[in-house]
């Protein structure tokens, strides 16, 4: 897998845990065209080879900002075609991230505004530092969310709250985000990495195939009616039964030891 990205830093900080850092601190970790290319390429690589990691932690460089959204300095004066061409790259990145079979935990270390908030929403779940802020500010700039914000925010907080957040462009504090159900946990900034990594280790210690199949099935829970969703779950379940990890998990339980999952 590539690691030589211009705007991202990838660290395999521990066995099976990939840390992805949005790395444009001088530009508030905002997303320029190059970051669009980098994210699209990285998520596609992880789709092609999900054995690279068992859990991904996504965060931003620095202590104040996760991601400020699209790089408005680069976008200033863009023609309609240039804007749409750039946005198409972002769109492909969002779809590739949605398709990533590996669990993604967002470690929101500061402000997540606009496209940065949408990037956070595309994670599987989020932990946030106490000073983090979340906002979909697009309508204040004459545009609207375009990286699945109008789809993910209602799924996270409900339609009425999503309406308020998106149509006002007003920010949510970390505490409000926790109350709304946007984030799973809030902690002091100094504890954020430890909190996220503890959960990532727990996920990475479980059977990789089972984790990937479960994630795929959970993702369908809001897409299908209950019966169709259950049918999908059974299909995902049946594809896991033939794995050696299933045999190892049951054997380890009976032998009263920790399982040694290999991902096959």
Digit-coded pLDDT (tens) for 94-110: 999 999 999 999 999 99
Region 41-47 average pLDDT:
97
150, 118 in Cβ contact below 8 A? no
Task: Return d(Cα 207, Cα 198) in angstroms, integer.
Answer: 17
pTM, two decimal places = 0.95
Q: What is the CATH number of domain 208-254?
A: 1.10.12
Strand positions, DSSP E, 83-140: 104-108, 111-113, 125-129, 133-135
Domain boundaries, the chain: 8-204, 208-254
Q: What topology is assigned to 8-204 in CATH?
A: 2-enoyl-CoA Hydratase; Chain A, domain 1 (3.90.226)
Distance CA 103, CA 204 (A): 9
Taking phi over 0 as left and psi of -120 to 50 as alpha, with beta for the rest, 234 belongs to alpha
User: Do 8-204 and 208-254 agree at the fold level?
Assistant: no
Q: Give the rounded percent of residues in the chain with a pLDDT score beyond 90.
A: 96
């Amino acid at each position: 897998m590539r690691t030589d990205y211009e705007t991202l830093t990838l660290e395999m900080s521990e066995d099976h845990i990939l840390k992805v850092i949005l790395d444009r601190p001088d530009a508030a970790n905002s997303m320029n065209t190059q970051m669009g290319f980098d994210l699209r390429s990285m998520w596609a690589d992880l789709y092609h080879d999900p054995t690279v990691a068992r859990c991904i932690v996504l965060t931003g460089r620095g202590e104040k900002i996760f991601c400020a959204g699209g790089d408005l300095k680069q976008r200033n004066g863009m023609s309609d075609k240039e804007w749409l061409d750039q946005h198409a790259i972002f769109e492909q990145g969002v779809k590739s991230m949605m398709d990533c079979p590996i669990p993604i935990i967002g470690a929101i270390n500061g402000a997540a505004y606009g496209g940065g908030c949408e990037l956070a929403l595309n994670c599987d779940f989020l932990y946030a530092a106490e000073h983090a802020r979340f906002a979909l500010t697009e309508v204040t700039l004459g545009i609207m969310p375009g990286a699945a914000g109008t789809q993910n925010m209602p799924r996270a907080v409900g339609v009425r709250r999503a309406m308020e957040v998106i149509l006002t462009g007003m920010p949510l504090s970390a505490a409000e985000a926790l109350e709304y159900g946007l984030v799973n946990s809030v902690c002091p900034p100094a504890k954020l990495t430890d909190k996220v990594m503890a959960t990532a280790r727990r996920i990475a210690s479980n059977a990789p195939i089972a984790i990937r199949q479960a994630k795929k099935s959970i993702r369908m829970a809001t897409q299908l009616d209950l019966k169709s969703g259950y049918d999908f779950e059974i299909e995902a379940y049946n594809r896991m039964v033939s794995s050696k990890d299933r045999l190892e998990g049951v054997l380890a339980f009976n032998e009263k030891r920790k399982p040694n999952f290999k991902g096959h």
